[in-house]
Structure 1
Amino acid sequence: MPFSFTSSMRSVPLALPSAFPIDDATIRANDAIASHATRTDRCRLARLGRRAALILGLAAAVSQGAQAAQQATPTDGWQTAWATALQPVPRVAHAPSYNLAPALGGRTLRQVIRVQVAGAQWRLRLSNRYGDRPVSIDAASLAPAGRGAALAGAPLALTFGGARSISLAPGESRLSDPLTTPLRPGPLAISLAIDDKTAAPNTWHKLASQLSYVSSDDKTMDRDAAPFKVGPTSWLFIDALLVDARPPAGVIVAIGDSITDGMRSTLNANARWPDRLAERIEADPATAGRAVVNQGISGNRLLSNSACYGESLTSRFDHDALTLPGSRDIIVLIGINDINFQAMPPRAGLDCDFPHTAVSAADLIAGYRRLIERAHHAGKRIFGATLTPASLPADREAIRLAVNHWMREAPGFDGVVDFDRVLRDPAHPAALQRHYDSGDHIHPSDAGYRAMAEAIPLRFFSN
């Protein structure tokens, strides 16, 4: 899907710019979604030669290395309070600047996240999951976030095995030591001083819909916003914040594509549908204390990898949902990208839509069934979400309708959230209601994302 707010540069000059540009040209330049590959398709791809192997094999190969890398394992009681799904930065020559993560060596990166649960002990997880070289962090801190880059409270230093600094090998993820400080629900600032020898990362979450901030030198313990300039709208080096919850209340994982990622929602507003669901969860005494984490990736597909849009959901499901600390319930909304852009023409240079293959309703249903089987085997509940209107041509709309009919009628999911019924225009069911349309006829507006959250029965999560 298009990456509406992301704008990254290959490097950040020592005299930092006043802002990273966020403009319509960037939005239009990113307006692409990749298609899918079934197992049969992958057999065909093997005959396409080195180009297919290089692009499609990248994420899977690095993922295998990540699984073999050292990872800290939290003890009982730790559960995820916030998370983001990581994806590889495209590694091809002549990639456009918006598909490149910024080089931040010798600078401090301050990233703002929002948690909806309170706690007194916290652990931050750093990640170099898709990296091909070490990443070194000289210092890190956690604090309540204020306005812009300012902090609303004193920053507290994070340590790793008792040390302020840490080096992550390629594929490695590490948890910080427990940090004892009472924090209420709200925005938090994570400040990382990046070693000056660390190159631009190969791991990120591209579309954060949240500004981050960059300064020169180590400013991890500075409360003032003055040293910082506006940085990229991506999350870098971080993928989870854990809270010590005893007894664990359980984590709800929202996983999918750009509609879960919050594409075209208001910047810095936390207006994605998982954010609005988290507000409802915390306000209801029957579900309060349960975290909702967003594992959507814009452009992601159910069945195939992409050089730009990450591993397929079937490939990343274990890491991003099943083994996430404290995960208990999973909401899956994905498939529109598999359907919508299977007819996209090949592109010269970086082709985010590769491989260009056809998809049927049967292909998607088989993929959902694999997710259901794996979730139930792991003791998790899994809820399907109907695919939302996208003003598709008739042949692709028929696939969407067939998938939604199966979701509503066939057994398998532990429950179904009918986002399609909530968002569609009664007079034109293939289209979004005007009030719920962000303007591209695919992604909901802030009002649409709120309506999605309000359509989810909280009884799904009450026990």
Structure 2
Amino acid sequence: MFARLTLRALGASAAAVVASICMAATPPQPGDWVTAWATAPQSIPDLTDPPPLYRTPDVAGRTIRQIVYPTISGRGVRIRISNAYARAPLTLTDVVLARSSDGAATRPGTAVHVTFGGKAGVTLKPGAQIDSDPVPVALTAGEPYAISLVAGPRQTLTAWHRVANQVNYVSTEGDHADDDTSSAYSRKFTESTWVTAVDVRSPGGAAIAAIGDSITDGLRSSLNRNRRWPDAFARRMGEAGAAQTAVLNLGISGNRLLSDSPCYGEALERRFQRDALGQAGVRAVIVLIGINDINFAAMPPRAGLDCDFPHTVVTARDLIDGYQRLIAQAHRNSVHIYGATLTPASLPGPREAVRLAVNDWIRKSRAFDGVIDFDAALRERAHPERLQRRFDSGDHIHPNDDGYSAMADAIPLGLITAVPLASPQ
């Protein structure tokens, strides 16, 4: 059995969170590696003539430059490259890490080449991933870094993270990984690909994984401004003295707990081990998922690309059973797991009844190690099925920047107590 946890008051010191995370879970990995930034990959629909949202840039023989913001500082870096959901090998001939400047430009003199088993390039089979050799440079939390990846001459994109909310860049043909100017980077795109994690050496550090759907992914938050709720929570942790706790965003817009999607990624319960529990130094997970499971059954089937397929009808019991499977996975890995209530989405009566039943179970069942009440933070008091107007991005489902900030503020900084997990029986 796992020991029960209690919630402290909102004003508890974040330093206690760091200490308790490190006490409560597995010992640090060799080398004290902690994931400082991460994203969740998803497959790209395999269509001859996809709609504009799913058309990929030409990357063959070109350089992709991606901007990442680590949420924890450290000296010593490694970069994880993934070929998840691929239909062919991934070949990269050069990978360079540098401090980002303006747009696609980087700061002169900061570029370092990244190697894999001592080699500049790497080829990965479909489904494989690899961590780079350690790079002896320092990363600073909250600062932008550019990772430049030179694709092989016949390389295509078959997987990405579609809603990066960050402008990234594709160059003209050639190896432009060392370029510190932006002149070769003629194409912008707001997806990310191949890089799924950046780790740093941070003795005593730890990571919290935030996993879910578009509301964790930060859909409709401000582009290039890091205004998603996990970003705001990371800043809040740092300001409160928990600078060595990373907050990782593993949300995928459109994702569901129970069903895969042609567009919106593998079901969260099936990607949970890799995307959340597989991060270096992870000690706790915050889960916010289920609104799309409730909604997608009512979406009309579409000819061609039907992103909402399968239109599975789910009950509150179905979702609760799925949450319990996540809890079991987390506890088998000695990781704490916190359940977040589903936020208002102006649902019609029958679907709203499912949301309310799920939230009632999250709050009262004591199945999770603790509860984060995002619903209470965002709902309109007189009409609890609705977002407060001041937090509504305009679609009545996704928060605006202020709403995402309110979500971060609703997480008790003393959420994790110093009660250690008992050994599994």
> How far does the alpha carbon of each residue in 1:19-74 deviate from its partner, in whole angstroms, 9 at most, with x for none?
xxxxxxxxxxxxxxxxxxxxxxxxxxxxxxxxxxxxxxxxxxxxxxxxxxxxxxx8
Are 2:231 and 1:231 equivalent residues in the alignment? no
Instruction: State the 1:94 CA deviation.
Output: 3.4
Are 2:94 and 1:131 equivalent residues in the alignment? no
- Decide which of 288, 293, 296 is 2:243's aligned counterpart: 288
Amino acid in the other structure paired with 1:302 = L
Q: Is the 8 A contact 2:97 2:148 kept in 1?
A: yes
Instruction: State the 1:152 CA deviation.
Output: 2.8
* Residue of structure 2 in register with 1:218 after alignment: 175
- Decide which of 203, 207, 223 is 2:163's aligned counterpart: 207
Instruction: State the 1:229 CA deviation.
Output: 2.3
Instruction: State the 1:93 CA deviation.
Output: 4.1
Are 2:405 and 1:450 equivalent residues in the alignment? yes
Amino acid in the other structure paired with 1:189 = A
Describe the SS at the equivalent of 1:459.
coil
Q: How many residues were matched structurally? A: 387
> How far does the alpha carbon of each residue in 1:337-396 deviate from its partner, in whole angstroms, 9 at most, with x for none?
011221112111111111112111111111111111111121010000000000000110
Amino acid in the other structure paired with 1:280 = R
Are 2:339 and 1:384 equivalent residues in the alignment? yes
Q: CA–CA distance in 1 between the matches of 2:128 and 2:363?
A: 40
Are 2:204 and 1:251 equivalent residues in the alignment? no
Higher relative contact order structure (alpha carbons within 8 Å, sequence separation ≥ 6): 2
Are 2:298 and 1:358 equivalent residues in the alignment? no
Q: Which runs of 5+ in 1 are unaligned?
A: 1-73
Amino acid in the other structure paired with 2:210 = A
Amino acid in the other structure paired with 1:260 = T
Instruction: State the 1:97 CA deviation.
Output: 3.0
Identify the range of structure 1 (293-302 vs 98-107) with the bigger mean alpha-carbon deviation: 98-107
Q: CA–CA distance in 1 between the matches of 2:271 and 2:300?
A: 26
Are 2:301 and 1:346 equivalent residues in the alignment? yes
CA 221–93 in structure 1, closer or farther in 2 if over 3 Å, else same? closer
- Decide which of 118, 125, 136 is 1:180's aligned counterpart: 136
Amino acid in the other structure paired with 1:457 = P
Q: CA–CA distance in 1 between the matches of 2:409 and 2:357?
A: 25
* Residue of structure 1 in register with 2:69 after alignment: 114
- Decide which of 56, 60, 64 is 1:105's aligned counterpart: 60
Q: CA–CA distance in 1 between the matches of 2:181 and 2:414?
A: 43
Q: CA–CA distance in 2 between the matches of 1:163 and 1:374?
A: 36
Q: CA–CA distance in 2 between the matches of 1:117 and 1:411?
A: 31
Moved over 4 A (4+): none
Are 2:270 and 1:270 equivalent residues in the alignment? no
Q: Is the 8 A contact 2:77 2:138 kept in 1?
A: no
* Residue of structure 1 in register with 2:23 after alignment: none
Q: Is the 8 A contact 1:90 1:100 kept in 2?
A: no
Describe the SS at the equivalent of 1:428.
coil
Instruction: State the 1:305 CA deviation.
Output: 0.5
* Residue of structure 1 in register with 2:393 after alignment: 438
TM value normalised by structure 2: 0.89
Q: CA–CA distance in 2 between the matches of 1:165 and 1:435?
A: 49
* Residue of structure 2 in register with 1:323 after alignment: 278
Instruction: State the 1:227 CA deviation.
Output: 2.1
Q: Is the 8 A contact 2:228 2:404 kept in 1?
A: yes
Q: CA–CA distance in 2 between the matches of 1:360 and 1:183?
A: 45
Q: CA–CA distance in 2 between the matches of 1:92 and 1:403?
A: 36
* Residue of structure 2 in register with 1:166 after alignment: 122
Q: Is the 8 A contact 2:63 2:176 kept in 1?
A: yes
Instruction: State the 1:114 CA deviation.
Output: 0.5
Q: CA–CA distance in 2 between the matches of 1:157 and 1:457?
A: 41
Q: CA–CA distance in 1 between the matches of 2:52 and 2:153?
A: 21
* Residue of structure 2 in register with 1:241 after alignment: 198
* Residue of structure 2 in register with 1:193 after alignment: 150
Q: CA–CA distance in 2 between the matches of 1:460 and 1:433?
A: 25
Compute the RMSD of aligned alpha carbons: 1.3
Describe the SS at the equivalent of 2:227.
coil
Q: Is the 8 A contact 1:211 1:230 kept in 2?
A: no
- Decide which of 90, 94, 98 is 1:143's aligned counterpart: 98
Q: Percent identity?
A: 50
Instruction: State the 1:462 CA deviation.
Output: 6.7
Instruction: State the 1:106 CA deviation.
Output: 1.5
Q: CA–CA distance in 2 between the matches of 1:368 and 1:76?
A: 33
Are 2:206 and 1:260 equivalent residues in the alignment? no
Q: CA–CA distance in 2 between the matches of 1:161 and 1:440?
A: 48
CA 223–431 in structure 1, closer or farther in 2 if over 3 Å, else same? same
* Residue of structure 1 in register with 2:113 after alignment: 157
* Residue of structure 2 in register with 1:49 after alignment: none
Q: CA–CA distance in 2 between the matches of 1:462 and 1:116?
A: 22
